[in-house]
Amino acid sequence: MNGTHGIRRVGVCGAGTMGAGIAQVCAVAGFPVVLYDAFPEVLPKAVARIEQDTERQVQRGRLRAEERARGLAYLSTTSDLGSLSGCDLIVEAAPEDLALKQDLFGKLAATAPEAILATNTSSLSVAEIASTTPRPERVAGLHFFNPAPVMALVEVVRGPQTSPEVVDRLVAFTQALGKTPIVAQDSPGFVVNRVNRPFYSEGLRLVGEGLADCATVDRAAREAGGFRMGPFELMDLVGVDVGYAVSRSFHQAFFGEARFRPHPLQRQMVLSGRLGRKTGRGFYDYQQPPPEPPALPTPHPHPGPYGVAGATPFAAELAARLRQGGFEVVELAEPPDGPLSVAAVFEAEVEDRNRKRAFLVALDRHLGEDAVLLAACTNASAAECASWTRRPGRVAGYVTLPPLADRRLLEWTSHEAAQADPTPYLAALGLPLLRIGDAPGGVFPRILAAVVNEAAFAVAEGVASPQDVDLAMRLGVNHPYGPFEWAERVGVRAVAGVLEGLRDYYGEERYRTAPRLKRACWLGRWPEP
Ligand code: NAD
C-alpha cells in the first residue's frame, strides 16, 4: 500500500507536546509541514524543541545530519489558519476539549475542503469531532503516542462515516512515516488506552484492599510479569490527575460499566495534590532518594520429595522444573486414593475449580501429618482452598502462571488459619519469594487475566483485529507480548481460571469472563473476528 496515500503537504494544528512531535516526524520523513498554533508565541518554542530533539538524534546516530537539515527545511510555522489551505492532510493536536476541536474542525473543513482531517485525540469520539464538518467521510483519527518521534505505533481510527479510502490512505501515509499503523474503530480509548485500563485498575484494587503495597505490586508486575514498569510507577509518570480523568471518562463513556469504575484512591491522591513526579510526590515520594528494594527471601529448599497434582500442562512443567532442581517428584494426574508419602504437594489445577477442589480434598485425606499443601491460588484464594480440607493449618498458596521460565519471582500467599511455614517448600521452584495478600490471582496473574479479558471484549465489539490488538499493546505500551499471544503462551484456560476465581471471590460483574474468551476455552480456538 506504500506510496498510494497521495499526500504531499501536511498541516499540523496545535504546536504543543504532540503537535511538535508529529510535525517533526512528518518533516524528517520528507513531507513539507506547516505547523499552526492559535498562540503565535508557542511556535518558536516548538521549533526549538524540534531542533534540539533532532540534534540529539544525530548525536546518537539515529538520524543523519543531512536528513535533519532537510527535515528542518521542510518545516514552516504559522498562526494563520488560512495557511493550511494547501495541505492534503491536516493532523489536529489541539487541547483535549470537544467544543474546541469541533469549532476547529468546522474552520479547517472550510479552509481546506479537499484535505483529510485527522484528530490526535486520545479519548474523544471521532464522530463527534467530525459532526461540525460537511464531509465527515474525510475525517478520521490519527493517534500518535508520546513521544511521537520515538513511539512506533499509530492508531488509525475509523469513524462511523470515515470512508475506506481515507483509512487506506492514512495507513499508507503512516507507513511512509516509518511508523506501524493499526486500524481501530471509533470507540472510547481505541485499542491501547482501553485494553491497558486493567493494568492500572487492578493494581489500584490490590492496594486499595490492602493485599499489597504499591512497591510490591510494581515489583510483581515487573519481575513476575515482565512489564517494563509497574502500574504505580507509570501512574506517577503520566500524572495521577491525568489517569484519574481518563478513568472517569471511560466509566462515563461505557455508561458505568463495572470494569471501568475509577478507584477512590485516585480521587484521594488528586485531592491531596499527590499527582506524581511532577509534584514531587505521588504513590512514591520523589523528594527522597528511592529506597533500596528489599532483598527477597530465597530460603534453603526442603529436600522433598514433592508431589505435583493436576492434569494441566502447568503441572507437567512444575514437575519437570522440580526434577531439574534435583528433587524427587511424584506426579498425580488424578486425585490420590491411597496414602501419599511426600513432604509437600504443589496442587496445580489452575484451569478447573471443581477438579481443584477434588484434588485438595483427596490430598488432605491421604497426606501424612507433617506434609504441606501448596495450592495454586490463581483461581481460588488460599483461605478457600484451606476451607476444603480438614487441616486448613497446613495449606498455603503460590500464585503464578506458566511458563515459569518467564518469571523472576514467585508470588505466594497464606491465610488466617495457617500454621506451617511454606517458604522452604516453595523455594524448591528456585525463584525468590514475594508474599502478597490472599485473593485469587495474586498480582501478575490478576493483571494479565483482566487485560486479556478486556482485549477479548474489545475484539468482539469490532474495535480491532486480534493481530492489531497484539501489535498495538507491544508497540504502544511495551507489553512483552500482545494479550492474545500472551494468553496462548500461558494457556487460555489458565487465564480464564483467574477470572473465574475473582468472579467467585468478589461476586462482581467486573470479573465476568468475556464470551470470546469462554469460547476459546471451550473449543480450543479463538472465534473468527
Ligand atoms: P498541549 O497542551 O501540549 O498542546 C496543545 C497545543 O494546542 C498548545 O500549543 C496550544 O497553544 C494549542 N492550541 C490551543 N487552542 C488551539 C486552537 N484553538 N487551535 C490550534 N491550537 C490550539 O497538548 P498535547 O499533550 O500535545 O495534546 C494534544 C492532543 O493530543 C490532545 O487531544 C491529547 O489528548 C492528544 N494526545 C496527547 C498525548 C500526550 O501524551 N500528551 C498522547 C496522545 C494524544
Cell digits of residue 354: 471443581
Quick one: pLDDT at residue 420?
84
- The closest-lying atom of ligand 1 relative to the alpha carbon of residue 94 is 7
- pLDDT at residue 306 tops 90: yes
What beta strand segments (E) does 272-370 contain?
306-309, 329-332, 344-347
Cell digits of residue 423: 517458604
- pLDDT at residue 43 tops 70: yes
Q: 424 or 304: whose pLDDT is higher?
A: 424
Quick one: pLDDT at residue 1?
39
Phi first, then psi: give them for residue 18, nearest 5 degrees.
-80, -45
Gap from CA of 189 to ligand 1 centroid (Å): 17
- The closest-lying atom of ligand 1 relative to the alpha carbon of residue 92 is 29
Percentage of residues of the chain with pLDDT beyond 70: 99
Q: Report the alpha-carbon distance of residue 258 to residue 515 in Å, rounded.
A: 16
Beta 180-185 vs 306-309: how paired, if at all?
Answer: unpaired
Contacts of 212 (CB under 8 A, 6+ apart): 206, 220, 436, 437, 443
Closest CA to 250 of 94, 146, 125, 118: 125
Question: Mean pLDDT throughout 58-64?
Answer: 96
Closest CA to 283 of 213, 370, 189, 363: 213
Q: Report the alpha-carbon distance of residue 311 to residue 339 in Å, rounded.
A: 19
Q: Report the alpha-carbon distance of residue 466 to residue 474 in Å, rounded.
A: 12
Mutation probe of ligand 1 site: the residue of 17, 102, 132, 145 with most atoms within 8 A of C-beta: 17
With b meaning 16 or more CB within 10 Å and e meaning fewer, what string describes 125-147?
A: bbbebbbbbebbebbbbbbbbee
Gap from CA of 359 to ligand 1 centroid (Å): 57
pLDDT tens string 342-400: 999 999 999 999 999 999 999 999 999 999 999 999 999 999 999 999 999 999 999 99
pLDDT tens string 240-292: 999 999 999 999 999 999 999 999 999 999 999 999 999 999 999 999 988 88
Quick one: pLDDT at residue 528?
86
pLDDT tens string 420-476: 899 999 999 999 999 999 999 999 999 999 999 999 999 999 999 999 999 999 999
Cell digits of residue 28: 524528517
Mutation probe of ligand 1 site: the residue of 22, 80, 120 with most atoms within 8 A of C-beta: 120
Radius of gyration for the alpha carbons in the chain, expressed in angstroms and rounded? 26
**Residue closest by Cα to atom 28 of ligand 1:** 93
pLDDT tens string 182-234: 999 999 999 999 999 999 999 999 999 999 999 999 999 999 999 999 999 99
Q: Report the alpha-carbon distance of residue 347 to residue 303 in Å, rounded.
A: 18
- The closest-lying atom of ligand 1 relative to the alpha carbon of residue 15 is 9
Gap from CA of 18 to ligand 1 centroid (Å): 6
pLDDT tens string 132-190: 999 999 999 999 999 999 999 999 999 999 999 999 999 999 999 999 999 999 999 99
Question: Would you give the end-to-end CA distance of the chain in angstroms?
Answer: 23
Burial of 341 (0-12, 13-18, 19+ CB in 10 A): exposed
Residues in the chain: 529
Neighbours of 237 (CB within 10 A): 15
Quick one: pLDDT at residue 3?
52
Neighbours of 93 (CB within 10 A): 26
CA atoms within 13 A on the CB side of 358: 14
Residues within 6 Å of ligand 1 by CB: 13-19, 37-39, 42, 93-96, 100, 104, 120-122, 145-146
- Quick one: pLDDT band at residue 81, thresholds 50, 70, 90? very high
* Residues 450, 452, 456, 461, CA torsion sign: positive
- The closest-lying atom of ligand 1 relative to the alpha carbon of residue 121 is 32
Confidence (pTM): 0.95
Contacts of 397 (CB under 8 A, 6+ apart): 374, 375, 376, 377, 381, 382, 385, 412, 413, 414, 415, 438
Quick one: pLDDT at residue 406?
96
Q: Report the alpha-carbon distance of residue 24 to residue 54 in Å, rounded.
A: 8
Q: Cell 504437594 sits at which residue?
A: 345
Cell digits of residue 293: 528494594
Q: Report the alpha-carbon distance of residue 517 to residue 487 in Å, rounded.
A: 10
Neighbours of 360 (CB within 10 A): 25
Burial of 221 (0-12, 13-18, 19+ CB in 10 A): buried
Amino acid at 135: R
Contacts of 75 (CB under 8 A, 6+ apart): 23, 24, 27, 33, 35, 47, 50
Q: Report the alpha-carbon distance of residue 424 to residue 399 in Å, rounded.
A: 16
Gap from CA of 10 to ligand 1 centroid (Å): 17
3-state DSSP assignment of residue 83: helix
Q: Report the alpha-carbon distance of residue 413 to residue 392 in Å, rounded.
A: 14
Gap from CA of 94 to ligand 1 centroid (Å): 4
Beta 306-309 vs 329-332: how paired, if at all?
Answer: parallel
Mutation probe of ligand 1 site: the residue of 101, 122, 242 with most atoms within 8 A of C-beta: 122
In sequence order, what DSSP letters do the residues of 372-409 get, joined into one string? EEEEETTSS-HHHHHHTSS-GGGEEEEE--S-GGG-SS
Residues taking part in catalysis: 122, 143, 155, 193
CB 444 within 8 A of CB 412: no
Q: Report the alpha-carbon distance of residue 301 to residue 102 in Å, rounded.
A: 64
Q: Report the alpha-carbon distance of residue 140 to residue 142 in Å, rounded.
A: 7
Q: Cell 490492602 sits at which residue?
A: 210
CA 526, distance to chain mean position in Å, is 20
- pLDDT at residue 327 tops 80: yes
Beta 410-413 vs 89-92: how paired, if at all?
Answer: unpaired
Neighbours of 254 (CB within 10 A): 16
**Residue closest by Cα to atom 40 of ligand 1:** 146
**Residue closest by Cα to atom 19 of ligand 1:** 38
- pLDDT at residue 2 tops 80: no
CA 488, distance to chain mean position in Å, is 16
Quick one: pLDDT at residue 298?
86
Gap from CA of 509 to ligand 1 centroid (Å): 36
Closest CA to 347 of 324, 320, 384, 372: 372
Q: Report the alpha-carbon distance of residue 253 to residue 186 in Å, rounded.
A: 12
